Amino acid sequence: MDSLLTQDEISFKKDVRDFVKKELLPHVEEWEEREQYAVESVKKFADYGLLGILVPPEYGGLGGTTMEYLIASIEIAKASVSLAAIFGSPAGIFTDAILKFGTEEQRKQYVPPAIAGDKIACFALTEPAAGSDASKVETTAVKDGDEWVINGSKAFITAGNVGDVIMVFASIDRSLGAKGITAFLVEKDNPGFSVGKVERLLGLHASSAAELFFKDCRVPASAMVGEPGKGLRIAFSSLDLGRIHCAGQAIGLADAALEATLAYTAEREQFGRPVGEFQGVQWMLADMSIQLDASRLLTYRAARMADAGKRYTAEAAKAKLHASEMAQQLATKAVQLHGGYGCTKDMPVERYYRDAKLIEIYEGTSEIHREVIARSLRS
């Protein structure tokens, strides 16, 4: 697949892979077993410049491409999907939304500290009653003089329990439905903001997902991002990028699962020969490789379209859908081919199996992506 990358991209991939091996891999198991957000990784990403891949140099970033962002997502996810999730928001959807829709003051205030690792950034759209249907956001923002007063709650927010600044989506007029939803920036020390339950998830044990509560939480008028009522446009624009990132997570996980399975089946002997010499096993491995390549191609296409300035909503949905389902299938086969040992925490495929299921659900479920793709066929 490197034949589809430029020499600069191949060099970048090698650099990221070296960073992952040196700075992340030695800590992955410790961070995963601790079951807390690996805040230490944020500074490692920042010091290496990875959080600023997509950020222009004038705000302290590298001014890189979506393809480079995807490459980094894949390489980090090969070590840990948790760490890829930590990397994703400040390097992607949070800064992307501010750069595209924020004021110059907001860009200068929030983007440099987010990519420097000085402030942990969150993206808060999901609510208990508004998951797949984001238009049903119940959190409200009411104008009071020069301030907005926010009331409501959010659920499953990555880094919500450790975040310093949160992009919150709230309705300024619920009678308007989706057209009332607006984006605001809320800092953790704002009165009226609090963190609720930190979920105990099936996977992603080195990341976190938390409830957030807003009770008469006041923010200045300058905290609004973009225009009133354009919140879903902001969210969906950035989530297209997020879906490329999630597809990258799935590809990285599946790549790691295939590599682990190839190594194990080459060494594990049954009936007097390595398991990998049995035709049934070889065919399973061949199918795993084909599925992985197909997902990579779909995701590369979406990234290339993004870098070309083309609309890529459907392509990102196809990439995320195919890659997430592929990763779950490959992780299942990897556990199967590891046998009983694949069900133990001594083998990394056990973690891949748990993490893969979450990738199928967050940043849009498989069902939602099929809806997005179906709509694109009618347009």
Residues annotated as part of the active site: 363
Strand, helix or coil for residue 26: helix
CA distances from 107 to 82, 150, 155, 328 (A): 27, 22, 26, 37
Burial (CB < 10 A; 0-12, 13-18, 19+), residue 100, is middle
Burial (CB < 10 A; 0-12, 13-18, 19+), residue 248, is buried
* Amino acid found at 253: L
Tokens of 50: 């990875």
- Cα 170 to its chain centre, rounded Å, is 22
Distance between CA atoms of residues 127 and 112, nearest Å: 28
Q: How many residues does the chain have?
A: 379
Beta bridge partners of 165: 121, 187
Interhelix angle 231-267/66-79, nearest 10 degrees: 50
Q: Would you say 86 and 42 are in contact if contact means Cβ atoms under 8 Å apart? A: yes
Cα R_g (the chain), whole angstroms: 21
Beta bridge partners of 153: 213
What is the longest distance spanned by two Cα atoms in the chain?
80
Tokens of 10: 């191949």
